[in-house]
Amino acid sequence: MAKYIIRGGKKLEGKIEAESAKNAVLPLLAAACLTDEEVIIKNCPPILDVVSMVNILKELGVKVRYEGKNLIVDASSMHSYSIPYSLSKELRSSVFMLGALISRFKSAEASYPGGCDIGLRPIDLHLAGLKQMGVRVGEFGGEIVCKADKLTGGDIYFDFPSVGATENIMLAAVLAEGRTVIHNAAKEPEVEDLQQFINSMGGKVSGAGSSVITVDGVKRLHGTEYKPIFDRIEAGTYLVAAAATGGNIEISNCNPEKISALLHKLCENTCKITLNNDIIYLKSGSVRKSFNIETLPYPGFPTDMQAQMVALAAVSNGISVIRENIFETRFRHVRELNRMGANIVVKDRVAIVSGVKELSGAKVTAHDLRGGAALIVAGLNARGVTVIDDIRHVERGYYKPEEKFRMLGADFEKL
Ligand code: EPZ
């Protein structure tokens, strides 16, 4: 199994470019199935989650090919609406394919996406919304079967601003009859990106980025060429790694306001952040100071940056209190960090981090995508060699991190 070998203690310095957002590209690929015309999604990193989603589309008869980093999608010969378990278990967030498949075929079949390392990941909000639009949902033996004579718009209320459920209903509503209004919708930038993408295909969606999204059904959608939003979590991960090594870096292809909660916290940690158009400059402070975090739906602090910030807090002066409010078991990185000399106690959904001067290299294991990213941050700070196992978790969401960190001066190898 592939591993990362990191010899820590070097300040990260230099410049990199942020990729397109994994969590935007995935729903855009689902939306691309709603037209028979060619769709070009530009600057798509071939990370494992994107590869998994492309495999699902190909299984359903969609032609997908890379031209450089651009993904060309042609769904004109799409012939199936049944996602095999072997593929949906690889990518639980493929559940928002349900909305797209019902829009196109008035039918959809998928396996109940299993939980993962960060929580149960229920889809009750997705299914409740689809039922309100006229979808009959059968669940048995771990399979979900959806059928609808027609999709009709209406008022949908979410108990929680779920990102995936918001995207699923948008995809089910875009070709439905009448108006769908989603209340308490997720406000994440990737939801806004899906709105822009659908509108560039001739859809009529408004309000994304606020808690009320309105979708007026249209008869058909046409092809488009689209560059997704930057990956705010990838960019955030590199900024945190720079802070944890006392370095200074710049990242281009960013939209800083979309990660303002993180940038604010990094300033609390005494980093100096300057912005210039799409470039974020980070200069580490002389001492790293502790901070407190509550993960919240956007625009609150993003849960996908929690693990990386726990690693930064581990080498910051003082006590940091980090509470994970979104997922129920998203602290599996803590045990690994403590193996590297961190001093972290977890009680329910709160991590209490007592900062130490520096960590020491060790053999550790990635248990999930962002937990693996946290181990990279820790390894870059640590004295000595850190070996990170099970790095496929990291490669689900980060494009060639070994290369990008080497460009910033890290002693970082992939075996
Ligand atoms: C998306 O997951 C992201 N994934 C996640 O990123 C991200 O952590 C999450 O949003 C929150 O920002 C993609 O976009 C592909 P949710 P999603 O539905 O849609 C509960 C990463 O690291 N919930 O907003 O699954 C759920 O259990 C990944 O890139 C229900 O109870 O997130 C969780 O506690 C990890 N019922 C909370 O809502 C439902 O029907 C947030 O889930 C749906 C969700």
Q: Determine the average pLDDT of the residues in 171-188.
A: 98
pLDDT of 115 higher than 70 = no
The residue among 337, 343, 346, 342 whose CA lies nearest residue 388 is: 337
| Percent of the chain residues topping a pLDDT of 70 | 100
Query: pTM of the predicted model, to two decimals?
Result: 0.98
Going from the Cα of 187 to the center of ligand 1, the distance in angstroms, rounded, reads 12
pLDDT confidence of residue 366:
97
**What residue type is 214 in one-letter code?**
T
Task: Tell me how far apart the alpha carbons of residues 215 and 177 are, in angstroms, rounded to a whole number.
Answer: 10
pLDDT confidence of residue 90:
85
Res. 276 pLDDT band, cuts 50 70 90: very high
Task: Tell me how far apart the alpha carbons of residues 309 and 170 are, in angstroms, rounded to a whole number.
Answer: 32
pLDDT of 237 higher than 70 = yes
Q: Determine the average pLDDT of the residues in 351-373.
A: 97
Task: Tell me how far apart the alpha carbons of residues 179 and 11 are, in angstroms, rounded to a whole number.
Answer: 53
pLDDT of 231 higher than 70 = yes
Q: Are 201 and 39 in contact (CB under 8 A)?
A: yes
pLDDT confidence of residue 288:
97
Q: List the residue whose alpha carbon is closest to atom 39 of ligand 1.
A: 123
Tell which wins on pLDDT, 301 or 92. Answer: 301
Task: Tell me how far apart the alpha carbons of residues 213 and 271 are, in angstroms, rounded to a whole number.
Answer: 36
- Whether the CA torsion 49, 51, 54, 59 is positive or negative: it is negative
Catalytic residue among 33, 44, 116, 146: 116
Q: List the residue whose alpha carbon is closest to atom 28 of ligand 1.
A: 304
pLDDT of 116 higher than 80 = no
Task: Tell me how far apart the alpha carbons of residues 70 and 43 are, in angstroms, rounded to a whole number.
Answer: 5
Q: List the residue whose alpha carbon is closest to atom 3 of ligand 1.
A: 23
The residue among 302, 331, 297 whose CA lies nearest residue 314 is: 331
Q: Determine the average pLDDT of the residues in 380-385.
A: 98
Q: Count of CB atoms within 10 A of residue 229's CB?
A: 24
Q: Are 223 and 39 in contact (CB under 8 A)?
A: yes
State the pairing for strand pair 363-365/385-389. Answer: parallel
Q: Give tens-digit pLDDT for 46-76.
A: 999 999 999 999 999 999 999 999 999 999 9
Going from the Cα of 208 to the center of ligand 1, the distance in angstroms, rounded, reads 17
Going from the Cα of 164 to the center of ligand 1, the distance in angstroms, rounded, reads 6
Query: Within 6 Å (CB) of ligand 1, which residues are found?
Result: 22-23, 26, 93, 119-126, 160, 162-165, 186, 303-304, 326-327, 369-370, 397
Determine whether 116 is an active site residue.
Answer: yes
Q: Determine the average pLDDT of the residues in 12-39.
A: 98
Ligand 1 atom nearest residue 123's Cα: 40
DSSP H helical ranges for 65-121:
85-88, 97-105
